[in-house]
Amino acid sequence: MKKYDYLIVGAGFAGSVLAERLASQLNKKVLIIDKRNHVGGNCYDYYDKAGVLIQKYGAHLFHTKYKEVFDYLSQFTKWRRYEHRVKACVDKKIYDLPINLNTINKFFGKDLNSKECSNYLNKIRVKIKKPKDSEEQVVSKVGWDIYKRFFEKYTLKQWEIHPRDLEPEVTARIPIRFNKDDRYFGDKYQFMSKNGFTELFRKILGHKNITVKLQTSYKKIKDRVKFDKLIFTGCIDEFFNYKFGQLPYRSLKFKWKTYNKPFYQEYTVINFPNDYKYTKSVEIKHATGQKISKTTVGQEFPAASGEPYYPIPQSKNKKLYEKYAGLSNELKDVYFVGRLGEYKYLNMDQVIYNSLKLFNKLSRK
């Protein structure tokens, strides 16, 4: 039986970054496994039948305020400058999203400047000092009309939960702006990995001390290999055999269509808060910059069952997670990290940041 210093479960960002750090900095022998047939976790991209580079698990755009995360990834990829922009289609009109000065003026038929816009919103917003849910979070910034047309139905579609029953941090992911900045993210570093995410993962995992095994679940392999330490980036409730009950996750289904023309829609992402069963239409080619005569567009349909894409931000779920986290603290040499391991709605840069932090902790031991 082969012996490894570390078994890492999950070859998404959490698992891959830790594998690379442990292998290259501490000379550890690492076995990283994934039950899927590819590396990259939810950031995986591939060339479809038409030759278009698409992201299998929905639109993934890299952005971060953390210089250390950007510098870390820069060792493994060249970058393509790309600042993400999203439009919302409401009543057949296209609006900037996040809500900004243009959105407010177009929606209310006004011609306000930044100062006037701030004053106007101050009049229509609901005065709540500390919003306790996602509905209050939005109405306390922009009032009921925008909330109803841009947020309420989208949120219901995305989560099948009313914004009133979701933590404020869900809608707070999207800023409200009084200027014309129409970028989706405000972070300093916003780039696409030049040749796609999968290529980046191959580089991260290319170290000689790393063995990658795909289509291999933790259950299948745990008694067949020897290892000193375990890093688990899958669902923490699954690891503990659902001892306290299942943590809920939200999933998505995707519908793809290829078109025989260079571009299908004008923007990378168009959100449909009120119409259709899908939340967004994504043409990632705008972001990858691929030069090819065809294009592929994906629609994202939220779903109750399927792959666990989103931890659901509700306080009862946080409490359940805390029970599992308590159990995990009692284990020696077993570490949980990543979006599923920490049961947190984390972006990829936050996952990388947390993984680098865990690496620092492990290297001090």
How far apart CA 203 and CA 314 sit, in angstroms, is 37
Q: Does 173 bind ligand UDP (CB under 6 A)?
A: yes
Q: Does 43 bind ligand UDP (CB under 6 A)?
A: no
Out of 16, 103, 137, 158, point to the residue binding ligand UDP (CB under 6 A): 158
How many chain residues touch ligand FAD (CB under 6 A)?
A: 34
Q: Does 21 bind ligand FAD (CB under 6 A)?
A: no
Q: Does 312 bind ligand UDP (CB under 6 A)?
A: no
How many chain residues touch ligand UDP (CB under 6 A)?
A: 13
Contact partner, 154, from ligand UDP, ligand FAD, none, Cβ < 5-8 Å per class = ligand UDP
Q: Does 218 bind ligand FAD (CB under 6 A)?
A: yes
Q: Does 106 bind ligand UDP (CB under 6 A)?
A: no
Residue closest to ligand FAD, measured at CB? 41
Instruction: Report the site for ligand UDP in 218-247 (rule: CB under 6 A).
Output: none
Q: Does 358 bind ligand FAD (CB under 6 A)?
A: no
CB of 322 to ligand FAD, least distance (A): 19
Q: Which stretch binds ligand FAD (CB under 6 A): 122-130, 139-147, 313-321, 343-351?
A: 343-351
Binding residues for ligand UDP, rule: CB under 6 A, are 88, 97, 150-151, 154-155, 158, 170-171, 173-174, 271, 273
Instruction: Give the footprint of ligand FAD on this chain (CB under 6 A).
Output: 9-15, 33-36, 41-43, 57-61, 217-218, 233-234, 252, 309-310, 338-340, 346-349, 351
